[in-house]
Chains A and B, each alone.
Chain A
């Protein structure tokens, strides 16, 4: 008889044991599953990570917007809700009716119900309709609008990165959305139980190597170039030669990431400073020069060359850019004059194996590996196809195809003591709340290309190009600037185009200890003399001048004095005219061209400001009131 009692009690214990198993051992699993069943989430969008310049200026920001969220099960009066929302949002009744009656736990009205203006959101809020919620959403905003648009990229309606850094670092920038969790019954009604707020996890912040002021200078000069020359394309790039950090990068045409829909995918996706490939022209001579110096093939001061204006290589005659040639010149003068036959000699002294070896060691013919999408490789002659003519033209920058970033990276190596760095643009990735560094980019040495001593000679030669040679337009009074001009004829379908050039200048400063390398290229400027120095030198100089302040570069002692030619203009200091009358201002600014703006007679503001040194005859804008 007791057996029956034992069995009954045993079964009770079995039941209790099972309950214990369910409630304690299986608790987590069942609780999660059940929570998913009970809870409905009102999404709270995470902020996308911000993108900063190197000093913390925000380049890509977020603004908070409001979006409409419907919970159809909770909407009691479907018709009223439909008609009111349809009216406010300007959606047809039928379409809104579909949203209101959709068999789903949460419904969004896309796109009319998203990114609502304050007025619209307020109208909806005042209706106090059941099952109609307004949730905060974060929208990407680019405070500098078109600035470095290709590099920053843009995001789609759901804040997903679609190009540039936004795409490349999307994984980091994207946060984890949070939610307001509330409990609902099986019919979708809200239960009167506590709501749980799950905080959204904001995306990581990016800090770039970009210097906002240098970037602004680049953008301004690009715009100026477009206004002045109506070119096909303009490209500008600035780099710290001692680390490979990109200080500024942009190009024209560009786009506004705040309104990306207005542009073609080509306009948006081609980040010209890393994508465009073309013949570099004379800026490439820096590589030939560095190679010849490193190999001890030339003494710039002692070795001389007699330029007759052309040189015969095999069956071809290669002309110097200057009719009649430069005559008898030292090799330093060859560099200053950018004399093509002189560089052919340097190429021949090196031989094709050595020259191409250096070209490759300087990084041409392969991607630099910058942390941006869409970099091109460029094209070099295959070494076995290189005959004497190809060797000769390559020596002065023809017959190779390179990207701006390759040129800047290579020239940086040539002047920084000989170290080729891998360029980069993202300095660090930080956790938004604690600012903990998640990932930090350190400068990466790719290889040592030339010796410190050779590099010093290259710097010297390039400084003299700016002081005495073709780069005079980039001379900055009181600072030591080095650089090289470039004029490259464009190739289309294997033929050189007539009167269609890419004019470029690559410069650096200070010449004895370079802190910045700037490259500026104008593709097919209209109605001007087709020389790199004349057209691309001044904007490069303007960027370098701004970099002096931006990078706080001290005025050096020594350096080369510029050799003034009769055509050169002199520098003058702009006087202070604020508070003066128009007449007085005109008198004070007699060395400059004065443009008045405003209606009054009293000067309130001037640009450039007092104390700036500009060429005589340049424009000073004076604002009056």
Chain B
């Protein structure tokens, strides 16, 4: 047993605290307007952060090999929760993704992201000899993943579903699945998209609308325009903490998906570089931990978690800066969202434990 990875730990805590600060800065205008309480969001998130850090510490003490034995149970519980949320969940912003408990909410799909990584890691470990065989090794786990994806899409929550699938695919790649398979899947996907567009050409227009948001400034382009109006004027150094204009009702719910816009506005390009460096630090740290891990299951766990984390961050950032269409994904550590922060910190706890079993 070794000590846990301090760099990772510090980067995560710094990023989360910065996120808390930015949640306050970006949300107080809306919070004051909606709830008459400027601190409404930051108080909620602060509680989750404290709980999350405690959990991260506790989880880092739990030997990760235990998840191997509980993988199926965890997966089944999360699967049931995903089914139940469709029945008993409360609807927010058109998605039935939440179990509402008072003013808090629990999002089962967030838990499923971790459960899926644990389950897939175990699967890959168990089937490591069959992984070269597509039909026997890959199709079953991919089928299951798509099933979970379909379940999440019933809410619907495309963003979370996509991250989950990407995480599994990443893991399959790490697990040694033939490259040709991914190329075939990729081609199939492209073919499918072309078929969908051919069936209804308006889809292409909708997909490409993000390239020129000014075509529909009050409709599909609205959020991205507001985001660009925040990022652009930020310039090199930004307006300084609290100086954002766009959070004054221009950008809807700036503390969630578009918190990065406000960071760019208040801290400019320098702030963006620092946030990006922290993310890259975390990712590089985890990848190093994974590569050094002697235990194949632990290696898969770390990779799976970092893939999901990395994809989620990139998906969010690419939406915010207008590189891809709006998908509705939050930025890990920074965006407002209790369950998301909690599960992210727990995931980091898992990785911290893995880091203690390095060569």
Contacts and interface: CB of A to CB of B under 8 A. Distances in A.
B321 A15 contact: yes
Contact of B248 (A1, A18, A191): A191
Contacts of A63: none
Contact of B272 (A16, A26, A183, A189): A16
A189 B228 CA distance: 22
Nearest to B287: A5
A186 B225 CA distance: 14
A35 B235 CA distance: 13
Interface stretch (A6-14, A74-82, A142-150): A6-14
Nearest to B323: A18
A33 interface: yes
B249 A15 contact: no
A24 interface: yes
B234 interface: yes
B245 interface: yes
A12 B314 CA distance: 7
Nearest to A20: B269
A31 interface: yes
Contacts of A38: 245, 250
A23 B284 CA distance: 27
A183 B279 CA distance: 34
B318 interface: yes
Contacts of A9: 280, 283
Interface in B15-53: 29
B234 A183 contact: no
A16 B229 contact: no
A105 to B, nearest CB: 14
Nearest to A191: B248
Contacts of A30: 228-229, 231-233
A35 B233 CA distance: 9
A4 interface: yes
Given A4-B173, A15-B321, A30-B233, 7 more contacts: A4-B307, A11-B314, A15-B318, A15-B323, A23-B268, A26-B232, A37-B229
Given A1-B174, A5-B283, A12-B280, A23 B232 contact: yes
B110 to A, nearest CB: 21
B250 A186 contact: yes
Contacts of B272: 16, 19, 23
A27 B248 contact: no
A498 interface: no
B273 interface: yes
Contact of B310 (A8, A14, A18): A8
A158 B284 CA distance: 66
A316 interface: no
A26 B321 CA distance: 12
A383 interface: no
Contacts of B279: 12
A403 B72 CA distance: 108
Given A18-B323, A186-B249, A186-B250, A23 B283 contact: no
B145 interface: no
Nearest to A18: B321
Question: Which 4 residue pairs of A and B lie closest in terms of their CB atoms, listed nearest first?
Answer: A30-B232, A185-B248, A186-B249, A34-B229
Contacts of A37: 229, 250
Given A1-B174, A1-B291, A11-B314, A187 B249 contact: yes
6 contacts: A18-B322, A22-B321, A23-B235, A24-B269, A30-B231, A186-B248
A14 B235 contact: no
Nearest to B288: A5
Interface residues of A, number: 34
Contacts of A4: 170, 173-174, 307
A12 B284 CA distance: 12
Contacts of B318: 11, 14-15, 18
Nearest to B268: A23
Interface residues of B, number: 38
A27 B235 CA distance: 7
B276 A12 contact: yes
A30 B225 CA distance: 9
Given A185-B29, A186-B250, A5 B284 contact: yes
B323 A185 contact: no
A31 B249 CA distance: 18
Interface of B: 29, 170, 173-174, 228-236, 245-246, 248-250, 264, 268-269, 272-273, 276, 279-280, 283-284, 287, 291, 307, 310, 314, 317-318, 321-323
A361 B259 CA distance: 80
B138 to A, nearest CB: 17
A154 B246 CA distance: 46
B245 A191 contact: yes
B351 to A, nearest CB: 15
B314 A24 contact: no
B276 A185 contact: no
A33 B229 contact: yes
Contact of B314 (A8, A20, A27): A8
B280 to A, nearest CB: 6
Contacts of A11: 314, 318
B264 A19 contact: yes
Contacts of B233: 27, 30-31, 34-35
Contacts of B234: 23
Nearest to A35: B233
Contacts of A12: 276, 279-280, 314, 317
B29 to A, nearest CB: 7
Contacts of A187: 249
A187 B249 CA distance: 7
Given A27-B235, A191-B245, A191-B248, A15 B276 contact: yes
A590 to B, nearest CB: 86
Residue among A1, A8, A18, A191 having the largest count of chain B Cβ atoms under 10 Å: A8
Residue among A30, A31, A33 having the largest count of chain B Cβ atoms under 10 Å: A30
Given A8-B283, A19-B321, A34 B307 contact: no
Contacts of A15: 276, 314, 317-318, 321, 323
Contacts of A19: 231, 264, 269, 272, 321
Residue among B174, B231, B235, B307 having the largest count of chain A Cβ atoms under 10 Å: B231
A34 B232 contact: yes
Contacts of A186: 248-250
B229 A23 contact: no
Interface string A177-219: 0000001111101010100000000000000000000000000
B348 to A, nearest CB: 17
B67 to A, nearest CB: 22
Residue among B230, B280, B307 having the largest count of chain A Cβ atoms under 10 Å: B280
Interface in A22-59: 22-24, 26-27, 29-31, 33-35, 37-38
Nearest to B321: A18
A221 B272 CA distance: 79
A185 B231 CA distance: 17
Contacts of B287: 5
Nearest to B246: A34
A193 B245 CA distance: 9
Nearest to B239: A193
Given A5-B287, A19-B231, A22-B228, A34 B245 contact: yes
A9 B283 CA distance: 9
Contacts of A191: 245, 248
Given A4-B173, A30-B228, A185-B29, A23 B236 contact: yes
A14 to B, nearest CB: 7
Nearest to B270: A23
Contacts of A23: 231-232, 234-236, 264, 268-269, 272
Contacts of B228: 22, 26, 30
